[in-house]
């Protein structure tokens, strides 16, 4: 055949991926498919690819979220639940971390994987996420097949989106709690526990076996009931935590009745009750129950005698850090010359909490001197828990009256706890107060996960909470759940703050 006069086909464009390998590509492939590699798979196994992608979407959106966030550890073969996005292979049933995804591609040559939160497609050859028109349509439908052809135009879709209200409650685990008579103090603590991944994973993996529990009106069984209700079906209506209320009344006499209670005191009560109901040890230092594994840390207290310089050290466990805001407020007002009060930063509160405190001879007796002496006392954080609970002491009680301290406290989304640790204090002392150079403390960055707010006055207030679910923040106000932005969260008048250590897998 004479082809001398026939036009030559255009040469494919030669590109290199991040590994430096030459990857041939054509403009047509990128138009019809997400990339030429997806084009090859679609041409060879289109039906199987679409079916498997729908199954993955069903796993992500229809089944409990914990399934798509669980992978098998390559070390011991045990299931591990990750707080970070995972990847579901589009060519086999594997669920992997980002690191294992790349290794899976190298060993199995399985090119495509699906991100576990938004179901985006990742191509191992391109080493990037790709946009495939056919798969994108299925992704937007969350894997559900259409019963009839969609005849709406792009403008129609835009009009619907711009005039629609997002219903965040339809997400798994997002439900409000009915107020059963001034029970908002209980609701905010329960929402905090429901959206704590450590507590959630414990109960969803049957850490507390309700069927075998013989406790009467057990609060742990009641919490287990909540997790089942919140994660087994999509419901938009609120949930009545009747079993939890009854269990709280029976376990704590002071809680019985419909009087408003303090959320911090209820948190202390419920954590202790869960500790006892889940095999908690009487020796708190050696306790391995889920409550202590999640919230328990250790403070170090050092007292230095001014006379002989003898140092005594003691360690005490803590479930939360209670930070003073009143004295700080007074001091800042004096420094500002009675001008408008400058907002207090939580770092200032932590700095004061771990600052040196003078003790008079009436307060301290030195064993080395065998006599009363002046001394300096300092607290520092010796051991940090995975979830750091911070209590801002807004309620003041005296013999004459009780009042609320409404000082504005600024808090960040990410908080570096390292400057308040024992290690930092000792290093700073050794270097005469300068920052310890070269010390790696990336693991001590904590991210905000929940904020509990008390609105109103001391005797007529109301509790609400904000919790992070994935990358979104939600306001929980009794039975109402609303999607909100970070700005609203950071502007809240916090009473309790919960920070979670960053990049931690549980």
User: Widest CA span of the chain, in angstroms?
Assistant: 112
Tokens 């219903």 locate to 167
What single string gives the DSSP state of each residue in 314-379?
EEEEESSEEEE-HHHHHHHHHHTTT-SPPPEEHHHHHHHHTS-EEE-TTT-EETTTTEE--EEEEE
Query: Which of 89, 53, 51, 58 shows the shortest CA–CA distance to 71?
Result: 89
Find all residues with CB under 8 Å of 276, minimum gap 6, and list them: none
Q: Of the listed 184, 221, 305, 366, which one is catalytic? A: 184
Rounded to whole angstroms, the Cα distance separating 447 from 419 reads 16
Q: Are 452 and 463 in contact (CB under 8 A)?
A: yes
Give catalytic status of residue 184 as yes or no.
Answer: yes
By the 8 A CB rule, do 428 and 227 touch? no
Q: Could you tell me how far CA 468 lies from the centroid of its own chain?
A: 6
d(CA 273, CA 246): 13
Active site (annotated) includes residue 208: no
Distances (CA, A) of 241 to 64, 169, 221, 464: 21, 17, 12, 16
Selecting among 61, 110, 441, 462, the annotated active-site residue is 462
Distances from the Cα of 448 to the Cα of 190, 216, 226, 271, 347, angstroms = 17, 35, 23, 20, 14
Q: How far apart are CA 359 and CA 364, in angstroms?
A: 7
**Strand partners of residue 454:** 463
Q: Do 355 and 275 touch, CB atoms closer than 8 A?
A: no
Catalytic residues: 184, 462
């Amino acid at each position: 055949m004479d082809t001398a006069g026939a036009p030559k086909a255009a040469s494919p464009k030669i590109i290199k991926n991040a590994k430096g390998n030459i990857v041939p590509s054509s403009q047509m492939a990128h138009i019809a498919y997400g990339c030429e590699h997806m084009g090859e798979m679609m041409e060879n196994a289109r039906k199987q690819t679409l079916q498997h992608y729908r199954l993955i979407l069903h796993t992500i959106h229809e089944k409990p979220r914990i399934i798509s966030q669980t992978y098998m550890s390559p070390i011991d073969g045990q299931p591990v639940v990750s707080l970070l996005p995972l990847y579901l292979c589009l060519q086999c049933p594997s669920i992997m971390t980002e690191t294992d995804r790349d290794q899976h591609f190298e060993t199995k040559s399985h090119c495509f994987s699906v991100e576990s939160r938004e179901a985006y497609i990742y191509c191992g050859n391109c080493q990037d996420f790709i946009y495939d028109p056919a798969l994108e349509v299925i992704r937007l439908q969350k894997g559900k097949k259409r019963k009839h052809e969609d005849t709406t135009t792009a403008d129609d879709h835009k009009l619907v989106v711009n005039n629609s209200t997002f219903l965040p409650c339809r997400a798994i685990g997002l439900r409000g709690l009915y107020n059963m008579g001034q029970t908002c103090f209980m609701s905010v603590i329960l929402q905090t526990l429901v959206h704590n991944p450590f507590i959630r994973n414990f109960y969803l993996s049957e850490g507390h076996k309700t069927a075998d529990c013989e406790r009467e009106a057990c609060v742990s069984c009641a919490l287990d009931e909540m997790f089942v209700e919140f994660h087994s079906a999509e419901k938009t209506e609120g949930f009545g935590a009747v079993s939890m209320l009854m269990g709280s009344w029976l376990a704590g006499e002071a809680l019985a009745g419909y009087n408003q209670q303090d959320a911090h005191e209820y948190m202390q009560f419920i954590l202790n009750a869960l500790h006892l109901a889940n095999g908690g040890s009487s020796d708190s230092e050696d306790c391995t129950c889920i409550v202590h594994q999640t919230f328990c840390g250790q403070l170090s207290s050092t007292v230095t005698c001014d006379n002989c310089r003898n140092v005594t050290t003691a360690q005490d466990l803590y479930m939360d850090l209670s930070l003073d805001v009143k004295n700080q407020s007074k001091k800042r007002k004096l420094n500002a010359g009675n001008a408008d009060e400058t907002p207090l930063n939580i770092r200032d509160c932590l700095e004061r909490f771990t600052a040196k405190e003078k003790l008079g001879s009436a307060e301290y007796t030195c064993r080395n001197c065998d006599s009363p002496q002046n001394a300096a006392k300092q607290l520092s954080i010796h051991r940090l828990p995975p979830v750091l609970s911070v209590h801002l002491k807004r309620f003041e009680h005296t013999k004459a009256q009780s009042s609320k301290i409404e000082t504005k406290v600024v808090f960040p989304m990410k908080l570096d706890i390292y400057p308040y640790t024992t290690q930092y204090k000792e290093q700073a002392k050794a270097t005469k107060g300068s920052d310890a150079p070269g010390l790696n403390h990336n693991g001590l960055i904590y991210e905000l996960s929940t904020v509990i707010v008390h609105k109103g006055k001391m005797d007529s207030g109301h509790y609400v909470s904000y919790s992070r679910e994935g990358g979104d923040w939600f306001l929980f106000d009794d039975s109402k759940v609303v999607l909100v932005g970070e700005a609203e969260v950071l502007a809240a008048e916090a009473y309790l703050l919960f920070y979670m250590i960053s990049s931690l897998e549980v």
